[in-house]
């Protein structure tokens, strides 16, 4: 079983930055891809950024050039650096991991089998 705990959310003004962290514990050594997703009220959960086992990264068009996903394998931690935040980035942010196989699309939520509880990000104009 894998446990994921996100932190780093908060309230910022437009143009500001936040860094989200996701610490994983449990059965993590065969984690093949990891991702960040977000869900705004009344909207479906969408992929924001993903990273595979070779550290290849994928981003949603809406965050390219502003967000950076990274990982520290020694700390079992996934990060999401968010810069130039916009009000439309306001959402609950979730980290996710896939254990037991490679991802075809690291932004597809159906790929993942473990999820964190989420951390709220609020961006004011």
Q: What is the tens place of the pLDDT at every residue in 39-51?
A: 999 999 999 999 9
Q: What is the tens place of the pLDDT at every residue in 67-83?
A: 999 999 889 899 999 99
SS (H, E, C) 28-81: CCCEEEEEEEEECCCCCCEEEEEEECCCCEEECCCCCCCEEEEEEHHHCEEEEE
Share of the chain above pLDDT 90, in %: 80
pLDDT at 29 over 70: no
Tokens 């996100």 found at: 6
Paired residues of 98 in beta bridges: 33
The answer to whether 49 and 35 are in contact (CB under 8 A) is yes
């Amino acid at each position: 079983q894998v446990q994921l705990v996100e932190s780093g959310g908060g309230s910022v003004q437009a143009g500001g930055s936040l860094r989200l962290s996701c610490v994983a514990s449990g059965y993590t050594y065969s984690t093949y891809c990891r991702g960040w997703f977000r869900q705004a009220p009344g909207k479906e959960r969408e992929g924001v950024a993903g990273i595979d086992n070779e550290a290849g990264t994928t981003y949603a068009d809406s965050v390219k050039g502003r967000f950076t996903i990274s990982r520290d394998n020694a700390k079992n931690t996934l990060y999401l650096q968010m810069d130039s935040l916009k009000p439309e980035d306001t959402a609950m942010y979730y980290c996710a991991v896939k254990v037991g196989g490679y991802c075809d699309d690291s932004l597809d939520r159906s790929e993942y089998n473990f999820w964190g509880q989420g951390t709220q990000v609020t961006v004011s104009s």
